[in-house]
Every structure is written in C-alpha cells, then in structure tokens.
Amino acid sequence: MSENQDEELLLAIDKVQWALGESMFRAKKLKTLLASNKKMSYGFDRVLNELLMALSQITHLYRHNIAERIKSLLQ
C-alpha cells in the first residue's frame, strides 16, 4: 500500500471508532431522556439496555480485534 492509502485507511479506522462512540453517547442520552417520560412502556427500558450492551460489544470488538490489528499491520 502507498503512504496515501495508509493514511486514508487510518482515517477510516478513526471515523468508524468515532461513529461507534457517538452511537453509544446518543443511545445513553436517549435512555436518560426516555426514563423521565411516563408514556414509555415498562419493557422499553430493557430494549434500550440491550442496545447499549450490543453497541458496547461491537465497539470493543472493533477496537481490539479489528482496528488494532489493522494499525499493527501498517506499522
């Protein structure tokens, strides 16, 4: 790979990581906002917890098993 391609790959890695972090932040904010809304059904909080767990697992997988491996190959 050329140096330009390496830089583009590193930028893509960082952007995916940012998007995952932003998704976690927004999902947590949504949960907080909906917690004070009396119109939400009882089971909805459980679904949001599942979403947060899934996002957390995906983020961990991406950071440790994908992003770090790619970065180590580029060094």
- 68 or 39, higher pLDDT: 68
pLDDT at 35: 82
**Cβ-based neighbour number of residue 7 at 10 Å:** 12
Structure tokens at 28: 């947590």
pLDDT digits (tens, 9 = 90+) for 5-29: 989 999 999 999 999 999 999 999 9
pLDDT digits (tens, 9 = 90+) for 28-67: 999 888 888 777 767 788 899 999 999 999 999 999 999 9
pLDDT at 1: 65
| pTM reported for the whole predicted model | 0.81
| Domain range annotation of the chain | 3-74
Alpha carbon distance 62, 58 (integer Å): 6
